[in-house]
Amino acid sequence: MINPDGYTRQAYYNALNGALAIEVYKEDAPVEEKGDYVVVSIEGRSDSSNNQGFAHEVVVILDIVTVFDSYIDPDKVESYDQQVQDILKPTVQAALDMSGAGFQLVHIQPGTPTYLKEQDSRKYYRKITRYINHIAQR
């Protein structure tokens, strides 16, 4: 059995990086990042294997971070989220190709998003969504 966590994170990164109008990072954004961005990270995994084969549920977190100098415009984060949905939802298997790693992505189940507001010298508005990925190992 192969651990699918890194392959799943990389599949999300490959699908979103360059396809979105903002930067995409794995696990964390650099401190010097000043613009809007998305962070792809793994929250955890459960094993649902049986005598038919290996199966996993990998939870991926997409954290969309928008930055503002004055007032927060929530439509901005929703626009980026819609771009993510347009990439992931229509053709899940094509968007998140894991075939080279010996995995097949069977289903993505998005969870309820969480919205956070933060402020230092600038204002931040974040949308954090958990995606449960049902993965079969070939």
Structural domains in the chain, CATH included, are 5-137 (3.30.2000.30)
Instruction: Read off the pLDDT of each residue in 46-61 and give the average, rounded to a whole number.
Output: 82
The answer to whether residues 104 and 136 touch, using CB atoms and an 8 Å cutoff, is: yes
Q: Residue 125: which pLDDT band, with cuts at 50, 70 and 90?
A: very high
- Over residues 67-123, the pLDDT tens digits come to 999 999 999 999 999 999 988 876 655 557 666 777 878 888 889 999 999 999 999
Instruction: Read off the pLDDT of each residue in 6-13 and give the average, rounded to a whole number.
Output: 91
